[in-house]
Amino acid sequence: MPAFVHQRHKHPGRLPSTCDLVLACPPLHSGVNASRIMRLAGCCGVRRVVACAPFRIDRKIARDAVEHVPVERHRSLLPVLKRLKRAGYPLFGLEQASDSACLYTFQYPPKCVLVVGHERHGLDPETLRILDSVVEIPTYGLPYSYNVVTAVAMALYEYGRQHGAASIARDGLTGRDAPE
């Protein structure tokens, strides 16, 4: 049986240089949610966060992500999304919607924008109209949807799982490199 040794602050893997994931957030009701999303962005290799005010970040919650993930703040998200789309970024919404793709089978391109909905209102109709696809996370009970931070965690994890496999194969994820 292996002898497991806790490794605090193990060095992260690296996503390939072709990966360019942008996270786009509407104004969020909760500063705690914004801070937790920032921490997730840091852990998951997000290149930048595009956010609308208010997007209050508590450094104690977001931790190192504040220094490593640039945040662009804008008054309105729609013009920025249109600009990113013109620049060649496919736009994917994280939402329950008609014709949505299931997170389990959705294939993220290496370069894309994940657009998050508001905690209570989701994605507005104007934003839904410009998206290339909508990704949905199935639920199996009540309530009918996940908290925004939980949903973002699942979606970002899946992006990293799809594109980070090379770094896991290269660097390993076994813990066998733990100090004696």
Per-residue pLDDT band for 57 (boundaries 50, 70, 90) equals confident
CA-CA distance, 111 to 132, in Å (whole number)? 13
If one looks up domain 20-170 in CATH, what number appears? 3.40.1280.10
pTM of the model: 0.87
pLDDT of amino acid 172: 59
Q: Structural domain boundaries of the chain?
A: 20-170
Q: Backbone phi, then psi, for 104, in 5-degree steps?
A: -65, -30
Q: Is 108 left (phi over 0), alpha (psi -120 to 50) or beta?
A: beta
CA-CA distance, 159 to 151, in Å (whole number)? 13
Read off the tokens for 54. Answer: 């208010």
Mean pLDDT of 139-164: 93
